[in-house]
Amino acid sequence: RRPCFTVCYICGREFGSQSISIHEPQCLEKWRIENDQLPRHLRRAEPRKPEVLTGGSCTITAENEAAYQSAQAQLLPCGNCGGTFLPDRLFVHQKSCR
């Protein structure tokens, strides 16, 4: 049986219940630094931690799904192929996308 992990709402990676509280503030600070370095037209609104109003055993699953969707909302689509990328990776991708 796989242990229960929590998804970071900023980057979409999985973390244990103890390390997520350490990771999220550091991830948000890294996100702010990277976002400030982008050109103004590529800057995004700061991600907000999603609030899930469910009860019972599905709480972790619902929270993880909401966090994953929040992380996916940070991605930008390529104008050529429609693939989604982080803003810093989109520029690199577009150099070779035909």
Q: What is the pLDDT of residues 22-36, one digit of tens each?
A: 999 999 999 999 889
What does the pLDDT look like over 30-80, one tens digit per residue?
A: 999 988 988 888 788 898 888 765 555 557 788 888 888 888 888 888 888
Put simply, whether the predicted model's pTM sits higher than 0.95 gets the answer no
Q: What is the DSSP letter of 31?
A: H
HSE at residue 44, side-chain half, CA atoms within 13 A, is 20
Contact (CB, 8 A) for 50 and 70: yes
Strand partners for 22: none
Residue bearing tokens 């991605």: 75
- Pull the structure tokens for residue 69: 């969707």
H or E stretch including 23? helix 20-37
